[in-house]
Chain A
Amino acid sequence: MQQILDALKQSVMIEDVRKQRDDLVFITVSEAQAVSAITHLRDRANFTHLVILTAVDWLEEGLFQLTYLLNNPAEKKDIGVRVMIDREKAQMESIHHLWPAAATYQRELREMFGISFPGSPRLNETFILDEGWDGPPPYRRDFDTLKYSEETYFPRPGRSTNDPAEYMKSMLYPEVDND
């Protein structure tokens, strides 16, 4: 694994390396160099399989973290390429020319996180939210799902919540003063 990273460092600036296991490493690269790093891993290091492309919303930092998880089926190794992109701009270079299947992931990210991938096929067609969704992208953390649900789906009144620990204590030991 170290050899792969050393070879990658020749062409790409790696900002952070996090070794999860012997056969699983997460690296962080800059937005500009991400696609060239992924291309290098696919063509030179035999990471021929794109396992998943997913995003994390870092609301407080104002960033989206994209994770491209790549797999080397011959040597049974995985590498995760993390890219931090600006949350306001929310735009990333598309990798559908490397794996056609990536277009599906990018459509999903476009719909659920509002991250744009210019040039990706069928990007702006509805994918999962095809019942006439008109709200903001629902996986963004500043989208209040509870408020949306209460405004849209006729909540039934009388819903209450108990703290499980307190509730069990009061049920099992009613004579003890729980305060």
Chain B
Amino acid sequence: MRSNDDFLSKKIVPGVEGDEIEVDPIRDYYCDAVPQVSREYKRAYPSIIDRFKNWARSESIWILAYGSGCGAIEMRPLMTPKYDAYQYGIQWRPTPRQANLLMVSGYLSLKTLRIVIRAYEQMPSPKYVMGLGSCTINGGMYYDSYNTINRLDYYLPVDVYVAGCMPRPESLLDGLELLKKLIREGKGHGADIYAEKFEWYKANQKKILKSWNMPDYSW
């Protein structure tokens, strides 16, 4: 594994025209600025514009198509004609930059947790997290494993949990409806809670990812 220093230190890379470009990965590839709480979150009451935005957001949930565990298999019938989640404004996107809902589908080992954290931090705000299955709630059948996490809400702000092992597409749709309701009511503030308790989340993440070789916040 690459060490932290040579991965993030300044280096000179050859350019297209034979020139040399100095690259500072921390500044050029990542952003190490700490996330900020949004203005909407600070307001006591949502304004009319906020309500309109919340309605619009609730009707266009774009999911990052990333399956960490066995629950990913339940998303295929959900997106294909049998359950057809597209008719509810839900669709799957190939990159975190285009998504606003991260579905953590099942158990997370340490390796996948690292990737999930990076994917979450690359998603633009406002963003939501849904935990599928008992593995994300309390560890499920992997509760005594030496390298799978027990509860997701210590590492990422979870908006909705869907219980089951694995939840069927019907319950996934129900969870998505609940998430839409929460967003419409102005309670979809996962990204703001993450920004507010950023140090607590980072401490929990770093407690188990002991070889932390990425910037603290990368988007």
Give A residues with C-beta under 8 Å from B: 126, 129-135, 138, 143, 145-146, 148-149, 152-156, 158-159
Interface residues of B in 145-171 (CB under 8 A from A): 145-151, 154
Give B residues with C-beta under 8 Å from A: 1, 110-111, 114, 137-139, 143-151, 154, 204, 207-212
Q: With A131-B111, A152-B208, A156-B138 as known contacts, state yes or no: A143 contacts B146, CB within 8 Å.
A: yes
Name A154's closest neighbour in chain B (CB-CB). Answer: B154
Do A131 and B154 touch across chains, with their CB atoms under 8 A apart? Answer: no
Interfacial chain B residues near A154, Cβ < 8 Å: 149-151, 154, 204
Interfacial chain B residues near A135, Cβ < 8 Å: 146
Q: How far is the CB of B68 from chain A (nearest CB, A)?
A: 15
Q: With A130-B1, A131-B110 as known contacts, state yes or no: A145 contacts B209, CB within 8 Å.
A: no
A134 to B110, CA, bound (A): 14
- In-complex Cβ contact of B210 among A131, A146, A148, A155 (8 A): A131
Closest 7 CB pairs of A and B: A132-B210, A132-B211, A146-B144, A156-B138, A131-B110, A153-B150, A145-B146
Interfacial chain B residues near A158, Cβ < 8 Å: 138
Name A139's closest neighbour in chain B (CB-CB). Answer: B146
Name B138's closest neighbour in chain A (CB-CB). Answer: A156
Name B210's closest neighbour in chain A (CB-CB). Answer: A132
- In-complex Cβ contact of B145 among A129, A131, A133, A145 (8 A): A145
Do B208 and A149 touch across chains, with their CB atoms under 8 A apart? Answer: no
Do A153 and B111 touch across chains, with their CB atoms under 8 A apart? Answer: no
Do B146 and A155 touch across chains, with their CB atoms under 8 A apart? Answer: no
Interfacial chain B residues near A131, Cβ < 8 Å: 110-111, 114, 147, 208-211
A77 to B174, CA, bound (A): 54
Name A138's closest neighbour in chain B (CB-CB). Answer: B146
Do B143 and A159 touch across chains, with their CB atoms under 8 A apart? Answer: yes
Do B110 and A149 touch across chains, with their CB atoms under 8 A apart? Answer: no
Do B145 and A149 touch across chains, with their CB atoms under 8 A apart? Answer: yes
Interface centre among B143, B146, B148, B209 (most CB of A within 10 A): B146
10 A-B residue pairs with Cβ-Cβ distance under 8 Å, sorted by A, are A130-B1, A131-B211, A133-B210, A149-B150, A152-B207, A153-B139, A153-B208, A154-B151, A154-B154, A158-B138
A155 to B140, CA, bound (A): 11
Q: How far is the CB of A133 from chain B (nearest CB, A)?
A: 8
Interfacial chain B residues near A143, Cβ < 8 Å: 146
Do B209 and A132 touch across chains, with their CB atoms under 8 A apart? Answer: yes
Q: How far is the CB of B109 from chain A (nearest CB, A)?
A: 9
Q: How far is the CB of B160 from chain A (nearest CB, A)?
A: 16
Q: How far is the CB of B156 from chain A (nearest CB, A)?
A: 13
Interfacial chain A residues near B207, Cβ < 8 Å: 152
Q: How far is the CB of B35 from chain A (nearest CB, A)?
A: 22
Interfacial chain B residues near A133, Cβ < 8 Å: 210
Q: How far is the CB of B158 from chain A (nearest CB, A)?
A: 12
